């Protein structure tokens, strides 16, 4: 389409009443064009999808798509960053607790139908049973042929797909608005609705994170790998030789005792022979012996190098660091209780390698992490007034310690024991003090644990359905084993806090993304409670202020009426390691 044709299309949608926030379903048919659908109309448009969306962005619609991974990825790849969206897959996970994000699963959840099998591969005779030319089968499920891509064969079919997406959106919006809002915020938009918006934006952000990648200084990274695991091997034989040399440092430290260091049982026997008798070989258990044993010290150092060699070694560099020196992985917007996930080691990058995470000259990283986020979230979601009062301090463990009559480390153990259900040892004793001092918070957690033990579904503070009933596996006598019940109880106890914290984090990230509009700054990493933003050095103060302001504006609606204060630590540096301080 020409610029004049884009302008005509924009005028057409403007005349149809498309304004800021108007839902407009968008289906991208690769190589053909796009299909648009809005309340009262639809429009197939041949040509470049990114050009169409860019031309319509001044109207500021809320793009509705089946999933960002399918329909937003081509736009992002072409340099278009949509302002706002509603991701049907992300909201279906919130509403219905489904794990899949394909159209078949989303549609089935919307219609209250059994989740269909994946529509992959060639059609079988079983698939053809009940099939018709229509997108929707007589049994109410989506056509498996359409799910295999028939929707993208023509703009006519893409338009049908867009109208179905708009139908699902209308039902999702109604159902989300009907979910309970536990905040004391009369007159505000329902919390689950706001969470649905931020979950949708998180799905779009995942597509952008995959596209943009994390900046890497290749020279620094390769120097660090050489120092840690040895030079890049030129053959399998040389790789084995380097590995044996790395093992040899530990063997020598134990007086030439040659064993398989990758076998925990063998390592435990090795330690016993050298006077270190431990029940297992976990690093935290061995650390107290390092100062008095050269062998243990060498073993702990070897483990760090081995982790880098096996997970973050030369193969990782070749596979996941692109020619443009960007580290890329596959991102997921919601797993388990709702946390974002990433492959390529992005969420577990060792501290030893973080100095290599740095942008080009005259660009910097703005790092911000939420302080004590899960305890603060517990205070908000439980409605415990005394814990909320503690959460108004910069360091909420200090007032908790005063309330418990303990020192700060004990107070921290007590809060963590409450959230994770630890009942033995020092944590168990600390938990008893928590029960007496913050009864509302403990009751909230115990109620969730009880539902988990019984396999009863529950929702997070923001409305995410945790389908605990699907985890409930009764035995032959119809009862779940006590061990399984205990495990699901602990999962539920933590998930109501961790899940709410994840929803808060994604809402913050979405707000930061919106605040960065008009700049060349980009979010390049989301790590549970930590954001990394890459920007020009000259813009760093402005970007840091955007990040901090975004947290306060998010807290204003997410924590409304709770009295809880959210805090963050924001720094600017040339590398991730420097930013962590």
Q: What would the DSSP string read from start to end of 29-48?
A: ETTTEEEEEETTEEEEEES-
Dihedral sign, Cα of residue 18, residue 20, residue 22, residue 26: positive
Work out the average pLDDT over 210-228. 95
Chain segment 136-177, per-residue pLDDT in tens: 999 999 999 999 999 999 999 999 999 999 999 999 999 999
CA distance 224 to 219: 9
Residue 521 pLDDT greater than 80, yes or no: yes
pLDDT at site 469: 87
Give the strand pairing for 33-38 and 41-46: antiparallel
Q: Name the more confident of 468 and 425.
A: 468
Give the strand pairing for 363-370 and 214-215: unpaired
Look up the CATH number of domain 218-318. 1.20.1060
pLDDT at site 187: 66
Which tokens is 429 given? 């004793």
Residue 9 pLDDT greater than 70, yes or no: yes
pLDDT at site 487: 86
Under a CB-based contact definition with an 8 Å cutoff, are residues 228 and 242 in contact? no
Q: Hey, what CATH topology would domain 332-373+503-579 get?
A: Alpha-Beta Plaits (3.30.70)
Residue 123 pLDDT greater than 60, yes or no: no
pLDDT at site 23: 98
CA distance 163 to 217: 46
Residue 44 pLDDT greater than 90, yes or no: yes
Return the CATH class of domain 384-500. mainly alpha
pLDDT at site 18: 96
Chain segment 68-93, per-residue pLDDT in tens: 999 999 999 999 999 999 999 999 99
pLDDT at site 481: 66
pLDDT at site 83: 96
pLDDT at site 249: 94
Chain segment 419-455, per-residue pLDDT in tens: 887 766 776 777 888 999 999 999 999 999 999 999 9
- Indicate the SS3 state at residue 337: coil
Range name among 161-170, 338-347, 462-471 with the lowest pLDDT average: 462-471
335: pLDDT confidence band, cut at 50, 70 and 90?
A: confident
Chain segment 275-290, per-residue pLDDT in tens: 999 999 999 899 999 9
Work out the average pLDDT over 214-226. 96
pLDDT at site 169: 98
Work out the average pLDDT over 499-526. 97
Chain segment 536-545, per-residue pLDDT in tens: 999 999 999 9
pLDDT at site 72: 97
Instruction: Give the domain ranges of the chain.
Output: 3-178, 218-318, 332-373+503-579, 384-500
Q: Percent of the chain at pLDDT above 90?
A: 81
Return the CATH class of domain 3-178. alpha beta
List Cβ<8 Å contacts ≥24 apart for 304-309: 304/228, 304/350, 304/352, 305/228, 305/229, 305/246, 306/246, 306/261, 306/262, 307/350, 308/225, 308/228, 308/229, 308/350, 308/352, 308/353, 309/228, 309/229, 309/230, 309/243, 309/246
Please calculate the CA angle 264-270-272 and round it to the nearest 5 degrees.
105
DSSP-derived secondary structure letter, 331: E
């Amino acid at each position: 389409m020409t610029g004049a044709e884009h302008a005509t299309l924009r005028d057409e949608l403007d005349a149809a009443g498309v304004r800021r926030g108007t839902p407009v379903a968008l289906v991208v048919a690769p190589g053909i064009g796009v299909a648009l659908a809005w309340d009262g109309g639809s429009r197939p448009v041949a040509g470049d999808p990114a050009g169409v969306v860019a031309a319509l962005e001044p109207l500021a619609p809320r793009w509705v798509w089946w999933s960002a991974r399918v329909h937003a990825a081509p736009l992002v790849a072409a340099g278009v960053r949509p302002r706002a969206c509603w991701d049907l897959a992300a909201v279906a996970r919130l509403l219905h607790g489904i794990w899949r994000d394909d159209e078949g699963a989303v549609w089935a959840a919307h219609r209250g139908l059994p989740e269909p099998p994946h529509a992959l591969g060639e059609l079988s005779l079983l698939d053809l049973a009940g099939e018709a030319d229509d997108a929707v089968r007589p049994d109410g499920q989506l056509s498996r042929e359409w799910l295999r891509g028939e929707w993208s064969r023509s703009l006519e079919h893409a338009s049908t797909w867009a109208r179905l997406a708009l139908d699902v959106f209308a039902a999702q919006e109604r159902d989300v608005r009907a979910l309970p809002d536990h905040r004391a915020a009369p007159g505000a938009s329902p919390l689950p609705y706001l969470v649905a918006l931020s979950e949708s934006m998180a799905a779009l952000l995942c597509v952008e994170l995959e596209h943009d990648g994390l900046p890497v200084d290749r020279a620094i990274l390769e120097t660090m790998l050489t120092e840690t695991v040895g030079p890049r091997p030129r053959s399998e034989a040389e790789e084995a030789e380097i590995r044996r040399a790395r093992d040899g440092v530990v063997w020598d430290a134990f007086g030439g005792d040659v064993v398989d260091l990758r076998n925990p049982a063998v390592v435990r026997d090795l330690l016993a022979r050298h006077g270190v008798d431990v029940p297992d070989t976990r690093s935290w258990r061995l650390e107290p012996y390092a100062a008095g044993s050269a062998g243990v010290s060498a073993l702990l150092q070897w483990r760090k190098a081995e982790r880098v060699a096996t997970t973050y070694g030369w193969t990782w560099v070749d596979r996941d660091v692109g020619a443009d020196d960007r580290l890329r992985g596959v991102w997921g917007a919601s797993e388990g209780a709702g946390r974002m996930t990433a492959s390529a080691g992005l969420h577990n990058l060792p501290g030893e390698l973080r100095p290599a995470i740095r942008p080009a000259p005259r660009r910097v990283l703005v790092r911000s992490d939420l302080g004590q986020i899960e305890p603060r979230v517990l205070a908000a979601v439980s409605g415990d007034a005394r814990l909320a009062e503690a959460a108004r301090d910069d360091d909420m463990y200090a007032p908790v310690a005063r309330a418990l009559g303990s020192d700060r480390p004990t107070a921290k153990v007590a809060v963590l024991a409450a959230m994770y259900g630890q009942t033995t040892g020092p944590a168990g004793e600390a938990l008893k003090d928590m029960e007496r001092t913050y009864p509302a918070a403990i009751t909230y957690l115990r109620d969730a644990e009880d539902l988990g033990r019984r396999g009863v579904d529950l929702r997070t503070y923001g409305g995410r359905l945790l389908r605990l009933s699907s985890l409930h596996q009764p035995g032959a006598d119809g009862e779940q084993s006590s061990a399984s019940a205990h495990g699901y109880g602990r999962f539920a106890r933590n998930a109501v806090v961790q899940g709410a914290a994840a929803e808060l984090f994604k809402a913050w990230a979405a707000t930061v993304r919106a605040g960065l509009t008009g700049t060349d700054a980009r979010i390049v990493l989301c790590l549970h409670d930590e954001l990394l933003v890459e920007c020009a050095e000259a813009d760093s103060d402005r970007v840091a202020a955007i990040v901090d302001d975004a947290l306060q504006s998010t807290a204003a609606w997410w924590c409304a009426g709770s009295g809880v204060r959210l805090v963050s630590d924001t720094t600017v540096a040339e590398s991730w390691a420097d930013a962590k301080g």
